Structure 1
Amino acid sequence: MTNLRQAWIIVRSDFNGDRLKLLWSLLWALLFMGYMGGLTSMIIQDTLGNGDGKFLADIMFMTVIPMLGFTFSKRTMKYLTEDSYTRMLAYMRTLPIPAAVILCKRKLHAVFSIGLNGVVFFGLIYAISSNLRHELPFPDYLAFTLTWMGLALVISGLYIFIELLASGRAYFFYVLLFTLIYIGTALLTWLAGGNLILYTVSCSREWGLLSPLMWGTLILGTLSVQLFSAWTIHRLKSRDLV
């Protein structure tokens, strides 16, 4: 609890000290996630209507959902050119801040980002797609949303691990590799005659907020963040930040 309290104080002081940082994050979340949500909603509309766009809908979700855990900030945008994550860690190491607090701060950012980006992304999808509203009343759609947010948590644990332990260039190639894996997963599902979106809709409609799939992804997401966090702290002790 002490680490969480210290991390929250740092996050709060960051935003209080630079209100433009918070405004920037909110603006980019609204612009980027708003655009992706609007585009995805039209694809889902077709998928639930005439059956077209099933493969494209899966690709959109599999590539956008991992981005829910990103905080849109100057550090995020310049991780490749300036290796901003490594520079941040090097600076933090000069301060009397334990690695556990740094990691807890990053997890708070991930939870905040998934919440903000998720509300914008899934809110627009539900607002625009009349077919989705017909298929899923709001409580069932909430289960649908939480299912995919759980998947975002699963991936966030891995991304935090790589973000804090790899250089900006290595991080870029890892993200590129993972994106290819997401697209490959959607392709294999399509070739097998399945569809991830329709399956999630079906589970949410049948079970609602008692959906085993929803609770499974949320539990796996929590475990992923905690396990990767423990591994990250262990590896951070020996990471060379020069």
Structure 2
Amino acid sequence: MTTLKQAWVIVRSEFHGDRWKLLWALLFSLLFMGYFAALSGMIIDDTLSGHDKQLLSDILMVTMMLMLSVSFSRRTMKYISEDSYTRMLAYMRAMPVPTAVILCKRKLNTLFAIVMNSLLYFGLIYVLSPGIRAELPPAAYLAFALTWIGYSLIVAGMYIIIEFSVSGVMYFWIISAIMLLALAVSGMVYLVGGNLLLATVAVSKEWGLLSPLMWGALVLGVLSLQLFSRWTIHRLKSRDLV
């Protein structure tokens, strides 16, 4: 059996064994993404209409891209108090499950989270934001959404190696530092007169699905996921889970 098939069997068995886990993830994602989609829609409309909320729009979009690859499960919510990622690794290693299968399973979970969260978040923004519907036709908006999803993929690769390399508490502090760094970049762009949201809208509107920004972000996202995965495999082989 190939690595991908083995990983898919484990993922499928987890959901079949605990259907409440899938329902919880769907409901929490719907509530979380629904709230922030409504908030984002209002702020995007204000930004597109020329009101002075450009910094806020960038901060919100950057923050959400850091969240798209997060699966809202019990393991995610308990990663500090129970060090759930380390416990999961120890359980998999005791079965035993090959390192490549563990990593493939994690990437499948990441892709599932990004697809589900992105559909909810960007779908609801388009429904709730008349300004962005007027600015971007469906093909251009798809390019806009895929550009930001590419950014989320770049970060997802970093998340994987961090959560598989350190304890839950250390994971929290590193992720917090990444978020602060991303917000600082948004602030610097604003201070020099730029705006990430408006730039993405402009490029998506002009190029549509041929957007070089979109394809660049997606390619970098896939490369990030693969590169960090290779590093993670080496880290997993030597990490002490006791």
Q: How many residues align?
A: 242
Q: The residue matched to 1:82 in structure 2 has which SS?
A: coil
**Aligned equivalents of 1:61, 1:131: Cα separation in 2:** 16
Structure 1 residue 178 displacement after superposition: 0.6
Report matched runs for 1:39-188 at 5 Å: 39-188=39-188
Structure 1 residue 124 displacement after superposition: 1.2
**Aligned equivalents of 1:67, 1:4: Cα separation in 2:** 25
Deviations 1:97-128 (A, max 9, x none): 10110110010011110010001111111111
Aligned to 2:193: 193
Report matched runs for 1:194-209 at 5 Å: 194-209=194-209
**Aligned equivalents of 1:231, 1:73: Cα separation in 2:** 25
> RMSD across aligned C-alpha pairs, in angstroms?
0.8
Identity of aligned residues (%): 59
Aligned to 1:210: 210
Residue 137 of structure 1 aligns with an amino acid whose one-letter code is P
Aligned to 1:231: 231
**Aligned equivalents of 2:238, 2:204: Cα separation in 1:** 44
**Aligned equivalents of 1:25, 1:115: Cα separation in 2:** 13
**Aligned equivalents of 1:223, 1:50: Cα separation in 2:** 36
**Aligned equivalents of 1:50, 1:191: Cα separation in 2:** 17
**Aligned equivalents of 1:104, 1:119: Cα separation in 2:** 22
Structure 1 residue 217 displacement after superposition: 0.5
Residue 51 of structure 2 aligns with an amino acid whose one-letter code is G
Structure 2 length-normalised TM: 0.99
Structure 1 length-normalised TM: 0.99
Structure 1 residue 155 displacement after superposition: 0.3
Q: Which 5+ residue runs of structure 2 have no aligned equivalent?
A: none
**Aligned equivalents of 1:160, 1:42: Cα separation in 2:** 32
State the 4+ residue runs in structure 1 displaced beyond 4 angstroms: none
